[in-house]
Chains A and B, each alone.
Chain A
Amino acid sequence: DTGVSQDPRHKITKRGQNVTFRCDPISEHNRLYWYRQTLGQGPEFLTYFQNEAQLEKSRLLSDRFSAERPKGSFSTLEIQRTEQGDSAMYLCASSLYSGRARNEQFFGPGTRLTVL
């Protein structure tokens, strides 16, 4: 399968613990996005990378959240000192950005986080 993959698919953790999620985009895609989806809502933008550069972060991304994309390939999203309000589906998407083109974003299956 050459689509976007995410690992793990499910994560249960206790409040206060740190968690890290991984996203592997489609190999030739230079842009990578993270979104968060809570129950009954549409996904909300968190942050995105063009190659290895993180170009924008949402106000939703508190200082407990950090994302990286070393070497412009896979990306990790870390949440420190998790809170129950962090429980959500974390979605990763990738696209091939080329100037003015508004290219489709391809989504992974998501990582469902439950904070007890």
Chain B
Amino acid sequence: AQSVTQLDSHVSVSEGTPVLLRCNYSSSYSPSLFWYVQHPNKGLQLLLKYTSAATLVKGINGFEAEFKKSETSFHLTKPSAHMSDAAEYFCVVMVSGGYNKLIFGAGTRLAVHP
């Protein structure tokens, strides 16, 4: 079975400092992994996706993530946090076999302080 574990339920950073949101995955196959962001009262938005191409994936708004098979990790990073980055972030694995349904982690709430 495929699953993801987000290691932190809450992360708090100061504006201008780096962001690290941690995610470990479990998959029997070569996984497709995603990070989605959810702002209050808004829909889920795709930040970036890994689908077995380059292991370092760049996304929108300066976010990037690195797929590390040896560590079964897909951590999300950003060099410098903005106030507008405050939101809920979900690490997601796509179930293989044609279904393409998504399995979400429990989420990490990112707070950004001035």
A interface, CB within 8 angstroms of B? 3-4, 31, 33, 35, 40-45, 48, 55-56, 91, 93, 95, 97, 102-110
Contacts and interface: CB of A to CB of B under 8 A. Distances in A.
Interface of B: 32, 34, 36, 41-46, 49, 51, 90, 92, 94, 99-107
A97 B100 contact: yes
**Ranked 6 nearest A-B pairs via Cβ:** A42-B104, A107-B44, A102-B32, A109-B43, A45-B101, A107-B43
Contact of B105 (A42, A97, A108): A42
A56 B99 contact: yes
Contact of A45 (B34, B51, B103, B106): B103
B106 A108 contact: no
A42 B107 contact: yes
B80 to A, nearest CB: 26
Contacts of B49: 104
A55 to B, nearest CB: 7
Nearest to B88: A42
A95 B107 CA distance: 22
12 contacts: A31-B100, A35-B102, A41-B107, A42-B90, A45-B102, A48-B101, A91-B44, A93-B102, A102-B32, A102-B94, A104-B49, A108-B43
Interface core residue of B42, B94, B104 (most chain A CB under 10 Å): B104
B96 to A, nearest CB: 8
Contacts of B103: 45
B99 A55 contact: yes
A97 B98 CA distance: 9
A17 B70 CA distance: 51
B51 to A, nearest CB: 5
Given A48-B99, A56-B99, A56-B101, A104 B46 contact: yes
Contacts of A109: 41-43
A43 B100 contact: no
